[in-house]
A and B are shown apart, each in its own frame.
Chain A
């Protein structure tokens, strides 16, 4: 296990180094001179020269890369051109909001996807199975931005059942201000007993979380169904059938446990996908997360902010993969030799 751990950590470090280099290279591809962007179009040659000096643009590329890595490690992720704040500060506010949204969506996805997958496997090749397969396929094929717009129009604008946009009712900030602990609004509201903001956040979460949950729910349902069907054809299932267990209890009591292992790793993989998919949903519902931040950065050509988001999400993705592999290594010894 120790050797597996060291090898896996080494691989991860290599990938992280590669991710940093790739982000650096992409940001160098930006058309236009960063010195001009900083100093403004009316800058004198002296001011331009000063800006070039300041950003080290005259240094060789490897020296610039070195400076970039040094800044990243010391917590200087640059300053956003749009908000004029350090990018890392912006991210530390936006990331928790995204976590809140994606977390709610994944809870929903597991709560719906697993039982639905069991249902499909229990009645395989019958009508419920057909229904689940078609619905889950639709859920993974729907363009999220369109689903977000549709739900927003129908359930918020027309029916008025849910708020149209935002994370919670802003007027609550004056009547019952929120004390920040984790920056995750719903968690902070819960631990400080701030019920007005808690319930308001829940109501605001419903529609965007439903949209973000669509893809993971479909994937989890398909995965549970496929694994259960395979599990139910194994020798142990034959024995259980001979002992008189009913099909439903064979699936839920014996087959479901081994089937949840792949689901666990699937969740971690879907997690990063859901964060990025959530970008478009956040833009539609004006959710104050990474996505809205990234989309605003795109429209204002805010390169440092875009680089920050890219790097952060890639790091989260790498970390999620590492955690899954290590967990699998603990649960399933065969995974260590792969």
Chain B
């Protein structure tokens, strides 16, 4: 996934899957961004008289146990989920790429040390380490972001290290070194821009996983807290009502499914488009 990615432009979106995924994501992002205008009710408006109403013209997705409009809260929940995903990917990519590029450029014992530390973090399944960290820290959205980012950065470190190592051997890098350009400048100006592409592809592949992990942590009560509108939390709060009031649990769960699906489809499509070996003729 290193060299071909750098040279190959997007071949006209050969795979319709990628397009479908991109469209779905656009829809989800728009719904989340425009939530304050699209939502028919205020997100936190409690209305006990109208609690647990089934879906109808007035309440498309019904109302929850304290009479809040489920459709409204699903829209607002998208804001939480997408912000968590963006924050996690930004933090872990920044940390991972920095360490990876330094490791790949420096080589030798620096690379060995950084890569062994990476191995240790990769030894924990992502959800497990996030779970443990989320327990130790206080439950909040920030905790979720930190807990997931800690488990995600090693992948980017690994990816960018191998890309940076191949760039570091190129003649133009040698030339810069001979001219006396200091190492930090070489890394920032030459190595970094050329080794960041595989990470960008990986980010789109990972967004779905981050959203699922964040939802799982919130479902366990380790993330966003009441009265925040968050999909995982909504499922947790409604789970005892599933048999009698299916809509309270079904719609937030579907929202998670659709969002994760959209990102996974886009990621898969991008990978097919960028990796020539996997293109289906």
Please give, as numbers and ranges, the residues of chain B lying within 8 Å of A310 by CB-CB distance.
Answer: 124, 128-129, 132
With A143-B232, A153-B246 in contact, do A279 and B268 touch (Cβ < 8 Å)? no
Q: B117: CB under 8 A from chain A? A: yes
Interchain nearest-CB distance for B238 vs A (Å) = 9
Q: How many residues of B contact A (CB 8 A)?
A: 47
A307 contacts across to B, CB distance below 8 A: 132
Assess the A144–B135 pair: CB atoms within 8 A.
no
Assembled-state Cα–Cα distance A205/B208 (Å)? 28
Contact partners of B265 in chain A: CB under 8 A: 137
Partner of B212, one of A15, A31, A141, A314: A141
- Residue contact A276 to B125, C-beta cutoff 8 Å: yes
| In the complex, A158 has a CB within 8 A of chain B | yes
Contact between chains at A146 and B128 (CB < 8 Å)? no
Binds B, one of A21-29, A90-98, A244-252: A21-29
Task: Report if B216 contacts A (CB, 8 A).
Answer: yes
Provide the residues of chain B in CB contact with A22, threshold 8 Å.
120-121, 124
Contact with B along A252-285 (1 / 0, CB 8 A): 0000000000000000000011011101100110
Q: Contact: A149 with B119, CB < 8 Å?
A: no
Q: Does A191 contact B (CB under 8 A)?
A: no
Q: Given A19-B124, A137-B268, are A150 and B253 neighbors across the interface (CB < 8 Å)?
A: yes
Check if B257 sits within 8 Å of A280, measured CB to CB. no
B235 in contact with A149 (CB, 8 Å)? yes
- Number of A interface residues in the complex (CB < 8 A): 60
Given the interface pairs A26-B132, A141-B260, the reply to whether A153 lies near B242 with Cβ below 8 Å is yes
Q: How far is the CA of A321 from the CA of B138 in the complex (A)?
A: 32
Given A137-B265, A138-B261, A294-B131: A146 touches B123 (CB 8 Å cut-off) = no
Partner of A150, one of B129, B135, B212, B250: B250
Interface check A318, CB cutoff 8 A? yes
Contact B135 A306 (CB under 8 A): yes
Task: Identify which of A21, A149, A313 contacts B128 (C-beta below 8 A).
Answer: A313
Minimal Cβ-Cβ distance residue in A for B134: A298
B101 within 8 A of A: no
Assess whether B170 is interfacial by the CB under 8 Å rule.
Answer: no
Determine whether the beta carbon of A18 is less than 8 Å from that of B137: no
For the complex, is B105 an interface residue (Cβ under 8 Å from A)? no
CA distance A152 to B104 in the complex (A): 49
| Contact of B6 with A by CB under 8 A | no
Interfacial residues, chain A to chain B (CB-CB below 8 A): 11, 14-16, 18-19, 21-22, 26-27, 29-31, 124-125, 133, 137-138, 140-147, 149-150, 152-153, 157-158, 222, 226, 229-230, 233, 272-273, 275-277, 279-280, 283-284, 294-295, 298-299, 301, 306-307, 309-310, 313-314, 317-318, 321
Query: 5 tightest CB-CB pairs across the interface, nearest first?
Result: A18-B120, A146-B253, A141-B260, A141-B261, A153-B242
B residues neighboring A (CB under 8 Å): 17, 116-117, 119-121, 123-125, 127-129, 131-133, 135-138, 208, 212, 215-216, 219-222, 232, 235, 239, 242-243, 246, 249-250, 253, 256-257, 260-261, 264-265, 268, 277-278, 280-281
Can you report 7 A-B residue pairs in the complex whose CB atoms are below 8 A from each other?
A19-B123, A26-B133, A30-B136, A145-B232, A150-B242, A150-B253, A310-B124
